[in-house]
């Protein structure tokens, strides 16, 4: 038996307030798009499910980083490629008259626009209807393994520690927390090769006819830099008018830092917030329609695109993406988002999918190669760097998370990997394969 925990030398672990162990069929770490879909998919398959989420709300990057666009529900022809649990979320948005899509002119990608508080409420509703046990404000701090399987995890919350046992586990944490704590095989690019982070800015007071173009932003930034001597890293980005409040979401304040280093991540947060005020000043001064603009919101945390990911039985490769590879014998999800690699602040490299269509993600790419009862969804799917730049987005995360949850439930029930049963149950739950 192996229990992993991490203490700095000289510190003592105090575990006197350890609560009674809770037991579930499936335990999901992370309550973002992938984690929500994993939990609901597992519960619909008949499993008892616990979701552990470190924040006080669900949603992952959508809510903790204000990335208020669901990318990946559609391919570049406008064809929907993700349904299942993801469709349930879209239906709930539609019930509130807030299901809106927009095609981004600069890329040709179709996104689903989100309102922050409505999105939180919809996620609460979807999870609440599923009957899963949800633990917010709960952070993973350890995992115990035996004979190549995870047997329990340990979480910490304000009241103490709790151990949770399970028969199958799903890592949807975004940063691979359970993969790391369990000592499972992982893929980890060099820090310099990982994608840049971005602090999302929400700007209010922008006129309805304001200039939101990249050319306009670039001209304003150029004038501002010449006038003030401040260098703003990038001269333009994506500006999207949001529903309801009509604020503008800006993706501009980039940082190329190691998201697994607390010192570098701290510096990224501080520097990106400083940059956001400079961008606001530049646009108020030099961009038509922005004269009364104000910074309504940032974050709450910087948007992290890349940290750890799973080393799976299989991996999605760049050639699979570019060829639009179909895998009828082992597929569990579709992805229609092209490769979008933020190689440096302000520098994005794109790579398309054949015929602007979609490709398959295999069962082996969500299943751990080293830990028999571990699956990983969202931006943890096993892949090379280029394919990762495609499949990491939230729409696709609903699809891969859904597959993980169903696979974990099938394993928890039968104790074996049974792809045919996983596919059949996913299709019964409305997933597109």
| pLDDT (0 to 100) of residue 4 | 54
Instruction: Specify whether 317 is located in the same domain as 420.
Output: yes
Instruction: Specify whether 61 is located in the same domain as 163.
Output: yes
In a domain, 351, yes or no: yes
Instruction: Specify whether 222 is located in the same domain as 277.
Output: yes
Instruction: Specify whether 108 is located in the same domain as 242.
Output: no
> What distance in Å separates the CA atoms of residue 82 and residue 23, rounded to the nearest whole number?
31
Q: At what angle do helices 214-228 and 262-286 cross, to 10 degrees?
A: 100
Instruction: Specify whether 121 is located in the same domain as 206.
Output: no
**For 272-320, how does the pLDDT look when each residue is reduced to its tens digit (9 = 90+)?**
999 999 999 999 999 999 999 999 999 899 999 999 999 999 999 999 9
Joined tokens for residue 296:
């309504």
Q: Please, are residues 333 and 361 in contact by the beta-carbon 8 Å criterion?
A: yes
In a domain, 395, yes or no: yes
| pLDDT (0 to 100) of residue 8 | 41
pTM for the full model?
A: 0.94
Domain span holding position 244: 197-298
E strands, 262-317, in order: 294-298, 309-310
| pLDDT (0 to 100) of residue 1 | 61
pLDDT band at 202 (very low <50, low <70, confident <90, very high): very high
E strands, 85-159, in order: 100-103, 110-113, 133-135, 139-146, 149-157
Q: Please, are residues 250 and 200 in contact by the beta-carbon 8 Å criterion?
A: yes
> What distance in Å separates the CA atoms of residue 108 and residue 361, rounded to the nearest whole number?
22
Q: Write down which residue in 263, 280, 298 finishes a domain.
A: 298
CATH number of the domain bearing residue 358? 3.50.50.60
| pLDDT (0 to 100) of residue 17 | 74
Residue 248 phi/psi, 5-degree rounding, is -110, 125
In a domain, 128, yes or no: yes
* CA-CA-CA-CA torsion sign (65, 70, 75, 76): negative
Whether the per-residue pLDDT at 16 is higher than 60: the answer is: no
Q: Write down which residue in 298, 323, 355 finishes a domain.
A: 298
In a domain, 219, yes or no: yes
Instruction: Specify whether 362 is located in the same domain as 271.
Output: no
In a domain, 263, yes or no: yes
More confident residue, 8 or 417: 417
> What distance in Å separates the CA atoms of residue 56 and residue 199, rounded to the nearest whole number?
20
Instruction: Specify whether 133 is located in the same domain as 34.
Output: yes
Q: Which residues are bridge partners to 203 per DSSP? A: 248, 295
> What distance in Å separates the CA atoms of residue 68 and residue 57, rounded to the nearest whole number?
15
Whether the per-residue pLDDT at 9 is higher than 90: the answer is: no
* Per-residue H/E/C for 138-168: CEEEEEEEECCEEEEEEEEECCEEEEEEEEE
Mean pLDDT, the chain, integer: 94
In a domain, 303, yes or no: no
> What distance in Å separates the CA atoms of residue 242 and residue 239, rounded to the nearest whole number?
9
Whether the per-residue pLDDT at 138 is higher than 80: the answer is: yes
**For 23-62, how does the pLDDT look when each residue is reduced to its tens digit (9 = 90+)?**
999 999 999 999 999 999 999 999 999 999 999 999 999 9
Instruction: Specify whether 168 is located in the same domain as 223.
Output: no
Whether the per-residue pLDDT at 245 is higher than 90: the answer is: no
> What distance in Å separates the CA atoms of residue 142 and residue 185, rounded to the nearest whole number?
16
Instruction: Specify whether 183 is located in the same domain as 325.
Output: yes
pLDDT band at 193 (very low <50, low <70, confident <90, very high): confident
| pLDDT (0 to 100) of residue 147 | 97
Q: Write down which residue in 267, 298, 329 finishes a domain.
A: 298
| pLDDT (0 to 100) of residue 2 | 62
SS3 265: helix
Question: Tokens 């104790």 — which residue?
Answer: 415
81 to 76, 78, 397: CA distances (angstroms): 10, 9, 12
**For 153-179, how does the pLDDT look when each residue is reduced to its tens digit (9 = 90+)?**
999 999 999 999 999 999 999 999 999
Q: Please, are residues 168 and 409 in contact by the beta-carbon 8 Å criterion?
A: yes
Whether the per-residue pLDDT at 14 is higher than 70: the answer is: no
Q: Please, are residues 327 and 249 in contact by the beta-carbon 8 Å criterion?
A: no
In a domain, 433, yes or no: no
Instruction: Specify whether 60 is located in the same domain as 95.
Output: yes
Across the beta sheet with 197-204, what order do the strands follow? 238-241, 248-255, 197-204, 294-298
Instruction: Specify whether 112 is located in the same domain as 168.
Output: yes
Domain count, the chain: 2
User: CB atoms < 10 A from the CB of 412, how many?
Assistant: 23
**For 55-93, how does the pLDDT look when each residue is reduced to its tens digit (9 = 90+)?**
999 999 999 999 999 999 999 999 999 999 999 999 999
Instruction: Specify whether 277 is located in the same domain as 313.
Output: no
SS3 210: coil
> What distance in Å separates the CA atoms of residue 124 and residue 353, rounded to the nearest whole number?
34
In a domain, 204, yes or no: yes
Q: At what angle do helices 33-44 and 85-95 cross, to 10 degrees?
A: 110
Question: Tokens 């309504």 — which residue?
Answer: 296
Burial class (CB in 10 A: 0-12, 13-18, 19+), 394: buried
């Amino acid at each position: 038996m192996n229990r992993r925990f991490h203490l700095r030398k000289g510190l003592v672990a105090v575990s006197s307030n350890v609560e009674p162990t809770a037991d579930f069929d499936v335990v999901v770490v992370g309550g973002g798009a992938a984690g929500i879909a994993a939990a609901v998919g597992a519960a619909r398959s008949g499993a008892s499910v616990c979701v552990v989420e470190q924040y006080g709300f669900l949603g992952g990057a959508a809510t903790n980083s204000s990335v208020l666009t669901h990318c990946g529900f559609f391919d570049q022809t406008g064809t929907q490629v993700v349904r299942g649990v993801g469709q349930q979320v879209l239906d709930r948005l539609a019930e509130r008259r807030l299901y809106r899509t927009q095609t981004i002119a600069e890329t040709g990608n179709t996104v689903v626009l989100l309102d922050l508080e409505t999105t939180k409420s919809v996620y609460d509703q979807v999870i609440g209807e599923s009957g899963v046990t949800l633990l917010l404000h709960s952070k993973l701090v350890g995992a115990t393994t035996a004979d190549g399987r995870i047997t329990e995890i340990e979480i910490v919350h304000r009241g103490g520690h709790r151990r949770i046992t399970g028969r199958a586990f799903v890592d949807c944490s975004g940063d691979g927390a359970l993969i790391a704590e369990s000592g499972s095989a992982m893929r980890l690019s060099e820090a310099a090769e990982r994608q840049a982070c971005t602090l999302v800015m929400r700007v209010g007071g922008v006129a309805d006819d304001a200039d939101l173009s990249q050319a306009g932003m670039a001209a304003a930034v150029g004038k501002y830099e010449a006038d003030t001597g401040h260098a703003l890293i990038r001269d333009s980005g994506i500006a999207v008018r949001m529903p309801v409040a009509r604020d503008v979401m800006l993706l501009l304040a980039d940082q190329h830092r190691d998201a697994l280093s607390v010192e570098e991540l701290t510096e990224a947060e501080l520097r990106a917030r400083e940059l956001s005020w400079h961008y606001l000043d530049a646009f108020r001064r030099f961009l038509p329609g922005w004269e009364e603009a104000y910074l309504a919101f940032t974050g709450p945390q910087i948007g992290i695109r890349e940290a750890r990911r799973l080393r799976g039985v299989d991996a999605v490769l760049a050639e699979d993406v570019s060829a639009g590879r179909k895998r009828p014998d082992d597929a569990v999800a579709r992805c229609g988002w092209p490769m979008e690699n933020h190689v440096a602040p302000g520098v994005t490299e794109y790579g398309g999918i054949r015929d602007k269509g979609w490709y398959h993600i295999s069962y082996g790419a969500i299943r751990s190669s080293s830990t028999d009862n571990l699956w990983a969804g969202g931006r943890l799917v096993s892949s090379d760097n280029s394919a990762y730049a495609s499949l990491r987005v939230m729409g696709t995360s609903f699809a891969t998370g859904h597959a993980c949850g169903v696979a974990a439930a099938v394993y928890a029930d039968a104790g074996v990997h049974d792809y045919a049963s996983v596919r059949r149950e996913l299709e019964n739950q409305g997933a597109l394969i």
